[in-house]
């Protein structure tokens, strides 16, 4: 999926989010072509709001190593070297991860989600967390047909450390129905399809990086 294709998807959005009733209908339907699937199952009373579904924080995280290496250069580092810049951490339910000011961590949703081909979803931070300084550092668009956990880019923009507990409601999914989705090419084959843990950047797969590398070698 390149940038132009993603932009075209956004332009095809109906412009309105699914309502609470529409979300609940999608969760309950037996039609796999329309169903929004979550596991563990969503608590309809606690997690489905007026126009969004709250998702919970998972137990796996990717932490970045701050000072061991001077620079991360995607044009020079090989794919197998990317792992030296981060480490994976498991935090059990009932335990906590401390996120320090100006620190970024990759987490993931506790829920595994599958979208039908006529919906896209936007991941948004919950305002209750934002008021404590915790933000989603980048907007995330979940493509039609996606299946997997959702990687969350969590940043502490506040002045004090924040304790993150797996299982707590951490973000929201807002769903949009696509127009003319029958004529749209299949989009489910994205880079992070089928993820069951937070995924580190796959920027090194970008075709434009090959062009830049070639220019650097001249």
Q: What angle do CA 167, 169, 174 make, to 5 degrees?
A: 130
Q: How many CB atoms lie within 10 A of CB 70?
A: 6
In three-state form (DSSP H/G/I as H, E/B as E, the rest C), the secondary structure along 183-194 is HCCCCCCCCCCC
Residue 55 · residue 184 · CB < 8 Å: no
Q: Which two tokens stand for residue 5?
A: 């294709």
CA dist., res. 98 & res. 162, Å (int): 6
Which is catalytic among the residues 5, 80, 153, 186? 153
Q: Is 76 a catalytic residue?
A: no
- Enzyme catalytic residues: 153
């Amino acid at each position: 999926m390149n940038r132009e294709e993603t932009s075209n998807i956004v332009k095809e959005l109906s412009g309105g989010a699914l309502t609470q009733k529409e979300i609940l209908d999608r969760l309950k339907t037996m039609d796999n072509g329309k169903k929004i699937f979550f596991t563990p199952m969503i608590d309809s009373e606690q997690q489905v709001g007026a126009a969004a579904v709250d998702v919970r924080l998972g137990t796996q995280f990717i932490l970045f190593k701050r000072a061991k290496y001077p620079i991360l250069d995607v044009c020079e580092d090989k794919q197998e070297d990317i792992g030296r810049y981060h480490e994976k951490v498991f935090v059990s339910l009932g335990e906590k991860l401390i996120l320090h000011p100006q620190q970024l961590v990759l987490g993931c949703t506790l829920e595994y989600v599958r979208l039908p081909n006529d919906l896209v979803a936007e991941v948004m931070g919950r305002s209750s967390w934002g008021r404590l300084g915790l933000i989603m550092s980048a907007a995330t668009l979940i493509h039609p047909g996606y299946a997997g956990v959702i990687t969350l880019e969590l940043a502490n923009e506040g002045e004090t450390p924040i304790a993150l507990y797996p299982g707590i409601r951490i973000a929201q999914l807002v769903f949009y129905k696509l127009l003319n989705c029958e004529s749209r090419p299949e989009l489910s084959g994205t880079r992070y399809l089928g993820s069951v843990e937070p995924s580190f950047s796959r920027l090194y797969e970008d075709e434009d990086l090959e062009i830049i590398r070639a220019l650097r070698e001249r």
